[in-house]
């Protein structure tokens, strides 16, 4: 049994693929990933920028869309929706076999709307209705302005992937938005699903930078430890939140917990093990979405064992030691949120600009 199959069968964690390419869909690679144990797929504006600008796979459909009178941005969404719908069809058997636990494909709203609650809500609803498949996740950024759209989408029975979570405080607000949305929803809740995408490796990048600036032996000893500790504390918060009388009342109506999804799990520092953010965050009721290179690494030499809650007190100690050294985690996570939103928006704007230039060449 492969590690991807084992981590689900033995530990209850769902491995997902954090990438999409049209050639993978047409050439059978995505189906092969599913056979190997991948149980879902995530995308984002940066992934689509690389896919669309990095190949000629989309040129014919883009030319047809422009020739049909669509503007550049509408043509972009046509390309994206085509890929998402094809991926949804490939993952649909996983969705059916798992009774809606897995088999999801995520597509993100325009990242330029991340600070606009009303526009995010409207676009999320429009995108969900346009695709209209039970295994689609609409991705909404976990900015302060994204919390109301998350709650409202859930209350309307629409499944959501909440993305760009960096802080434990914001994660608590995301879980509250999900639960409040379920409480406002009508009838059976069993077909409403959500994951909360907690970003991992980027936390180490920023914390490590600050620790290196401090430069003391105590600071340098903590490099590469903040992200895993934060994820492990997020899992403890998940277990606490999805228990007790309030949650039990929703369970009676068929509600599903909002699973934590570990995102940004490829290592950015080449001195760290390439499966660092996989091996250390394995546990039941979780998802880990991995770039294809990290999936291959985990298949080859990853370790399948329950680790996410093996040492919660140790995780708390690491965060306390960081604070003692002067690393302001609140400032770190706010910086990362701002950078994450800006990076996705930059990818979107650059891709639209590139497509606009390509469209001019067609006329």
For the segment 70-78, the average pLDDT, to the nearest whole number, is 89
DSSP state of 142: -
- Tens digit of each residue's pLDDT (9 = 90 or more) over 271-300: 999 999 999 999 999 999 999 999 999 999
pLDDT of residue 117: 96
Q: Give the residue extent of every domain in the chain.
A: 3-362
Q: Which residue has the higher pLDDT, 315 or 351?
A: 315
* Catalytic residue annotation: 139
- Tens digit of each residue's pLDDT (9 = 90 or more) over 15-56: 999 999 999 999 999 999 999 999 999 998 888 888 888 778
Question: Cβ atoms within 10 A of the Cβ of 85, count?
Answer: 17
Residue 163 phi, psi (nearest 5): -115, 170
- Tens digit of each residue's pLDDT (9 = 90 or more) over 246-273: 999 999 999 999 999 999 999 999 999 9
**Which residues on neighbouring strands pair with residue 198, listed in sequence order?**
165, 262
pTM for this entry: 0.95
Residue 134 near residue 95 (C-beta atoms within 8 A): yes
pLDDT of residue 57: 87
Strands (E), 53-189: 105-108, 136-141, 160-165
- CA separation for the pair 157, 100 (Å, rounded): 14
CATH superfamily of 3-362: Aldolase class I (3.20.20.70)
For the segment 122-134, the average pLDDT, to the nearest whole number, is 96
pLDDT of residue 362: 65
């Amino acid at each position: 049994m492969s590690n991807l199959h084992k981590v689900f069968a033995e530990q209850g964690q769902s491995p997902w693929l954090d990438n999409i390419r049209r050639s993978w869909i047409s050439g059978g690679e995505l189906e092969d990933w599913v056979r190997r144990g991948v149980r879902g797929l995530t995308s984002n504006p940066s992934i689509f920028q690389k896919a669309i600008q990095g190949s000629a796979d989309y040129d014919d459909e883009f030319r047809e869309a422009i020739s049909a009178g669509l503007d550049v941005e509408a043509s972009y969404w046509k390309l994206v929706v085509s890929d998402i719908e094809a991926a949804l069809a490939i993952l649909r058997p996983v969705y059916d076999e798992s009774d809606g636990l897995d088999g999801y494909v995520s597509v993100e709203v325009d990242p330029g709307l991340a600070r606009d609650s009303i526009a995010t809500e409207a676009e999320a609803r429009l995108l969900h209705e346009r695709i209209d498949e039970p295994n689609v996740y609409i991705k909404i950024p976990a900015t302060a302005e994204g919390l109301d759209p998350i709650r409202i989408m859930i209350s309307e029975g629409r499944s959501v992937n909440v993305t760009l979570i960096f802080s434990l405080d914001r994660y608590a607000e995301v879980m509250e938005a999900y639960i409040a949305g379920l409480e406002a929803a009508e009838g059976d809740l069993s077909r409403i699903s959500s994951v909360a995408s907690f970003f991992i490796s980027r936390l180490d990048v920023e914390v490590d930078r600050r620790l290196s600036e401090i430069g003391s032996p105590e600071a340098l000893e903590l490099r590469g430890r903040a992200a895993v500790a934060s994820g492990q504390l997020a899992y403890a918060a998940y277990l606490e939140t999805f228990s007790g009388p309030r949650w039990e009342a929703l369970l009676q109506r068929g509600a599903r917990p909002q699973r934590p999804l570990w995102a940004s799990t490829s290592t950015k520092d080449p001195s760290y093990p390439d499966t660092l953010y996989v091996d250390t965050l394995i546990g039941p009721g979780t998802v880990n979405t991995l770039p294809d290179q990290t999936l291959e690494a985990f298949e080859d030499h990853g370790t399948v064992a329950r680790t996410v809650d093996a040492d919660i007190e140790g995780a708390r100690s690491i965060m306390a030691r960081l604070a003692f050294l002067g690393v302001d985690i609140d400032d770190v996570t706010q910086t990362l949120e701002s950078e994450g939103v800006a990076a996705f928006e930059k990818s979107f704007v650059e891709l639209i600009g590139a497509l606009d230039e390509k469209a001019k060449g067609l006329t």
